[in-house]
Amino acid sequence: MPVKNTEVQYHIGLSQDQLCGARYALLPGDPGRVTPIAKVFDRHHELGQHREYRSAIAYVDRLPILVMSTGIGSPSTAIAVEELARIGIQYFIRLGTTGTIQPQINLGDVIISEAAVRLEGTSQHYAPLEYPATGSITLTNSLCDAARRLGIPTHVGITCSSDSFWPGQERYDSFTGYVLRRFHGSVEEWRRLRVLNFEMETAALFIVCRVFALEAASLCGVIAQRTESEAVRKDVYDIVQERLSKIAKTAISIHQTTVETR
């Protein structure tokens, strides 16, 4: 049964009439990144915040784009996709931060995910583990084309999505330093399997969108180079944020042209 335009979604606090006709959503995790991302666009206005979901409408020329935070992790990301789908969003692009496990990837570089390892639990509520977590080809290619046009150093490949920041990503700098035996050596294993990075949302985003016949892509900026150090480099945040925003803006213009010619 279709949701009425005036119905406010329970978790995100938005209704369809607030979206100004937007079909694209940019999804950073951190609510604090919503406004800086929106400011890169031609103009924007704030919508507000409900729970972890802060939102704004930005424009590429006259095309409205929703920018909305998802908070941390797969459960809140899946909720965001569920409710945004009900009010008309069709295209989802994650704009996140990440730690790389490959030595050839530098701090500040951008990673575009073709697919994701499902090391989280949320996606299993939508499809069995045998079902692959893959992004939209057209939306992903639009991100790749945009990064190439802008001359931003970019790597394309497989991401690993974990439900935890410390043990699931085999980090030993946690409160206790304890990591379950099942995760011992996992970083080296994923590295040898040519996985590029760890983060916490992409697999769920890809699965939910694929099951719902929606399109999704994932773009992350590298703020930790884990072959050198476990430290998160906050000094590259601004560089990463600007790069992600510019790529997303250009990619939407490219993708919109592709959609119009289908």
| Across 53-65, average pLDDT | 97
C-alpha–C-alpha distance, residues 150 and 139, integer Å: 17
How large is the average pLDDT for residues 233-237? Answer: 92
Say whether 33 is catalytic. no
- Which 8-state DSSP code applies to residue 251? H
Asked if the model's pLDDT at residue 230 lies above 60, the reply is yes
What are the tokens at 52?
């972890």
Long-range CB contact pairs, 54-61, < 8 A, 24+: 55/12, 55/13, 55/14, 57/18, 57/19, 57/20, 57/22, 58/26, 60/249, 60/252, 60/253, 60/256
Active site includes 171? yes
Q: Given a cut of 90, is residue 260 above it in pLDDT?
A: no
Residue tagged active-site, from 7, 11, 191, 242: 11
> Catalytic: which of 33, 44, 52, 83?
83
Active site residue 262: no
Q: Which of 33, 94, 210, 226 is catalytic?
A: 226
pLDDT above 90 (res 99): yes
Q: What is the pTM of this model?
A: 0.96
pLDDT-derived band at 5, boundaries 50, 70, 90:
low
Instruction: Give catalytic status of residue 149 as yes or no.
Output: no
Query: For the domain 16-260, what is the CATH code?
Result: 3.40.50.1580
The two tokens of residue 123 are 């996606």
Active-site residue among 171, 210, 243, 255? Answer: 171
